[in-house]
Amino acid sequence: MDELGRMSVSEFKEAKKNPVVVVLDNIRSMHNVGSVFRTSDAFRIEAICLCGYTPQPPHRDIQKTALGATETVNWIYFEHTNDAIEQLKAHGYSIFAVEQVEGSISLENFYVYEKKIAVVFGNEVEGVDSDVLLNCDGCIEIPQLGMKHSLNISVAAGIVLWDLIKPKLIDLNQ
């Protein structure tokens, strides 16, 4: 790890973060939760909100894919996803669900004007709850060309988070 120039856990905790919060709305799979933690660590995301019945650390099945990212990425649990959204809005975040709905913005056309953004990822089967969608500022859709028109939540998180932080990479390295 020394040769890779990786930060220690304490250095990571103190490092500048991307002003992006991930909101997980009733995710079933611990492996998906762990994967989102790992991706959030990789992209230095500010925090994760675990909502509803989304599994919470510590758990060995989350750790299996998180590989320690539950120790580096800040997270908080909310019983109801809309409570997380209300708190984020009160702190100046714009909220966008990642969901295929009428009026959603295709990811390649989405530009973040807002300084602070939260992205909501929904349940593996049902997607983002309809009551939660009503509380969001908009929706982002990942363009897809195949027959299924759905992605695993951890894959969707990786694609969206990379797209959101890509323009900011230079800022974090300074």
Q: Which tokens is 69 given?
A: 């990212």
Residue 136 in any domain: the answer is yes
| Average pLDDT over the chain, rounded to an integer | 93
φ, ψ (nearest 5 deg) of residue 113: -85, -30
pLDDT tens figures, 146-171: 998 899 999 999 999 999 998 766 56
Cα–Cα distance list, 101 to 25, 129, 138 (Å) = 16, 12, 10
Beta-sheet strands, E only, within 66-145: 74-78, 94-98, 105-106, 117-121, 138-141
Residue range(s) defining the domain that contains residue 50: 9-169
Contact 32, 152 (CB under 8 A): yes
Residue 174 in any domain: the answer is no
Q: Which of 6-15, 35-44, 57-66, 125-134 has the lowest mean pLDDT?
A: 6-15
Residue 28 in any domain: the answer is yes
Residue 2 in any domain: the answer is no
Residue 51 in any domain: the answer is yes
pLDDT tens figures, 80-130: 999 999 999 999 999 999 999 999 999 999 987 668 999 999 999 999 999
Helix (H, G, I), strand (E, B) or coil at 156: helix
Domain containing residue 87: CATH number: 3.40.1280.10
Residue 1 in any domain: the answer is no
> Residue 37 and residue 63: Cα distance in Å, rounded?
9
Confidence of residue 6 (pLDDT cuts 50, 70, 90): confident
The total of structural domains in the chain comes to 1
Residue 4 in any domain: the answer is no
> Residue 109 and residue 111: Cα distance in Å, rounded?
6
Check residue 145 and give its pLDDT. 92
φ, ψ (nearest 5 deg) of residue 166: -50, -45
